[in-house]
Structure 1
Amino acid sequence: MKALLKIEWIKTWRSWPVFIMGSGSPSLFISSIQVLSQV
């Protein structure tokens, strides 16, 4: 279960830069960093 979550997290993490560049929203990037740092 943990391994599956880790794979899903990596896939999500790797898609973030593409999503942020596509949306061009630095505020979204900053908020995502704050969320990730809380985890």
Structure 2
Amino acid sequence: METTNLLDFIAGGVALAILISGLVMLFKGISAFGDKSK
């Protein structure tokens, strides 16, 4: 049971990290696009 909980925790952490990094890159892309248009 402990190993499955650990795997679920790791999988959730990886998914969350990917989601956050994706949002950060999206915001950076939007800000960079805005700077170029000025």
With the length of structure 1 as denominator, give the TM-score of the two structures.
0.48
Q: Greater helix percent: which structure?
A: 2
Greater CA radius of gyration, 1 or 2?
A: 2
Larger RCO, structure (CA 8 Å, separation 6 or more): 1
